[in-house]
Amino acid sequence: MKLCMATNNAHKIEEIRPLVPGTVGLVSLEEIGCREELPETGDTLEANSRQKAQYVWDHYGVNCFADDTGLEVEALGGEPGVYSARYAGPQRDARANMELLLRKLEGEENRRAQFRTTITLILDGQAYQFEGVVRGAILGAARGTGGFGYDPLFVPDGYARTFAEMDLAEKNKISHRARAVERLIRFLREREEESS
C-alpha cells in the first residue's frame, strides 16, 4: 500500500520509514505531485491534522497521514497550543516564541506543560486519529542548543535536562511525536496481520 506522509520535511519521513510495515511504501507530498501548501486553518490540533490529511485524500486520492503538534501550558489555559509555531507572529521565530512564553509566565509558579501530537490517518476515505503526549515543566530561562522550537525551555517529567540538552535518539524515545507515531505504526501492523 502506498501511504503518503503529508509533510515536506524529509527528515520526518526518514525517521518513520524504518518503522512502518514492509508492505507500506511511504511517500512524500512531492512524490505524489503535491507542491502546494496544505490548508491548516483549524483551531485544534485534531482539526488541523485532519484538514491536511483530508486535503491529500480529496485532491490526490492517496492514503495518507498528517501530524500537528502544540505545546500546552497549564497556567495559560493550554496556550500556545495549536498556535505554537506562530505564537509571537507569522514569522514563526522560535526565539521570539520562547521569549513571549517566558514573559507570559513571569511570576507564575505553575510551570506545568505538555507537548501533544495528533496524527490523522486516512485509509480509503476513513479517518483514524492517534495522540502522543509528553508531560513536563517550563524553565525560567532557555538551556541547551539541540532540538528546535520550545525544546530549550522544556524539561520532561523524570529528567533533569531540557529536550535541547538531549541527543535526538534520547528525545525520540520519549517524545510526543514518537508516542503518536508508535500508535499509528501499531495500528498499521495490526491491520496488516488481520489481512494476511
**Active site (catalytic) residues:** 68
Site for ligand IMP in 80-119 (CB under 6 A): 84-85, 115
63 lies in the site for ligand IMP, by CB under 6 A: no
- Cβ atoms of 10 and 31 within 8 Å: the answer is no
Nearer Cβ to ligand IMP, position 51 or 149? Answer: 149
**CB 67 to ligand IMP: min, Å:** 6
Strands 64-73 and 80-81: antiparallel
CA dist., res. 132 & res. 119, Å (int)? 9
Which of 81, 132, 136, 149 is close enough to bind ligand IMP by CB under 6 A?
Answer: 149
Is 69 an interacting residue with respect to ligand IMP (CB under 6 A)? yes
In the block, cell 525560567 appears at 140
Q: Which one of residues 5, 142, 150, 165 is an interface residue with ligand IMP (CB under 6 A)?
A: 150
Nearer to ligand IMP, 8 or 192 (CB): 8
Exposed, middle or buried by CB within 10 Å (0-12, 13-18, 19+), for 87?
buried
| Cα 139–Cα 103–Cα 91 angle in degrees, nearest 5 | 100
Neighbours of 142 (CB within 10 A): 18
- Smallest gap from Cβ 173 to ligand IMP, in A, equals 13
Residues that bind ligand IMP (CB under 6 A): 68-71, 84-85, 115, 147-151, 163, 175
